[in-house]
Amino acid sequence: MKNLLSLEKLPRADFAHILRDSSVFKKERAAHANQPLAGQTWALMFSKSSTRTRVSFEVGIRELGGESLFLSANDIQLGRGEPIRDTARVLGRMVHGAVIRTFAQNDVEEFAAFSKIPTINALTDDEHPCQVLADIFTFEEKCGPIAGRVVTFIGDGACNMPVSWIFAAAKLGFELRIAAPRAFQPAPEILKRAGGNIICTEDLRAAASGADLLYTDVWVSMGREAEAAERLKVLCGYQINTGLVQLAKPGALVMHCLPAYRGKEIDAETFEAHAGTIFTQAENRLHVQKAILNWCVAG
């Protein structure tokens, strides 16, 4: 039994294992001989909105032979203040695994420790490991090994997406450039913990030059809505647009974890020009989620 709580803690060999299995699950969609979740019920406990993560896990669990139970935090006692460790001890006696989307990273860690069932981080304020695994799978599917390549993240460099990219870069050996205003650069402590080849800059044109992949995410992450006006002001300009794409390597990929806000972190023209990649990236959440679930219950 394993947990996927953060990419920081995911061993390099397990990264490779999940990426390899994702490709098998994609090829064998809906035709798996093996049903690793047969007889199991998994809880999806979400305190934030979700389209891709929720649907990919619900469908993925079903396709692996299991059943899922969607628990909105607003509808269960957790939302009225029941401690996470008590919720964990109850669910741990009733379900076989949990997929959790919440605010504090500590809540998924505490849930895993107290429930003693496989627990997957489906996004916290600190990390979005399932998304970055799907992103890397998508990159490698289209362009080959990511090791030695250049990935440039543009926008809010301190939110969950770039942090998961930071931990992946150190493990998989690619160069990661993060272009963000000074107030939205990753915490030095995270960069130190991760190691790897990570360049943080305010200069988005320099960061985009020669990149193999340009990546962005919303300027206002879930839970940061009260800061929206200030964020839009400071992040304005940190946009992937036609001019910026021209600086990247010819044929460079453009990716977005979605949902996308046209005219903010990406312009409409660039979004549509790269929609094929972006929606394959979204589809790959399903195949990668299945590989993660399978990895959690194996051995």
Residues that bind ligand NVA (CB under 6 A): 123, 128, 159-161, 217-218, 221-222, 257
Q: Choose the binding region for ligand CP from 35-43, 46-54, 71-79, 86-94 (rule: CB under 6 A).
A: 46-54
State the nearest-atom distance from the C-beta of 223 to ligand CP, in Å.
Answer: 12
Among ligand CP, ligand NVA, none, residue 159 binds (CB under 5-8 Å by kind): ligand NVA
3-state SS track over 36-90: CCCCCEEEEEECCCCCHHHHHHHHHHHHCCCEEEEEECCCCHHHHCCCHHHHHHH
Owner of token pair 């929206």: 228
Owner of token pair 């999940």: 18
Q: Choose the binding region for ligand CP from 21-29, 44-52, 169-177, 178-186 (rule: CB under 6 A).
A: 44-52
Instruction: Name which of 45 and 218 has its Cβ closer to ligand NVA.
Output: 218
Instruction: Name which of 217 and 267 has its Cβ closer to ligand NVA.
Output: 217
Which member of 5, 19, 45, 52 binds ligand CP (CB under 6 A)? 52
Instruction: Name which of 98 and 159 has its Cβ closer to ligand NVA.
Output: 159
Which member of 59, 258, 260, 273 binds ligand CP (CB under 6 A)? 258
Instruction: Tell me phi and psi for residue 81, to 5 degrees.
Output: 105, 5
Instruction: Name which of 76 and 222 has its Cβ closer to ligand NVA.
Output: 222
Asked if 257 touches ligand CP (CB under 6 A), the answer is yes
State the nearest-atom distance from the C-beta of 217 to ligand NVA, in Å.
Answer: 5
DSSP state of 186: P
Asked if 90 touches ligand CP (CB under 6 A), the answer is no
Which member of 22, 53, 68, 152 binds ligand CP (CB under 6 A)? 53
Asked, as a colleague might, if the bond just before 259 is cis with ω within 30 of 0, I would say: yes
Cβ-count burial of 268 within 10 angstroms (0-12 exposed, 13-18 middle, 19+ buried)?
A: exposed
Asked if 260 touches ligand CP (CB under 6 A), the answer is no
State the nearest-atom distance from the C-beta of 262 to ligand NVA, in Å.
Answer: 16
Asked if 149 touches ligand CP (CB under 6 A), the answer is no
Asked if residues 288 and 130 have their Cβ atoms less than 8 Å apart, the reply is yes
CA torsion sign for 18, 19, 22, 24 is negative
Among ligand CP, ligand NVA, none, residue 51 binds (CB under 5-8 Å by kind): ligand CP
Which member of 51, 77, 106, 242 binds ligand CP (CB under 6 A)? 51
Binding-site size, ligand CP (CB under 6 A): 8
Q: Which residues bind ligand CP (CB under 6 A)?
A: 50-53, 123, 131, 257-258
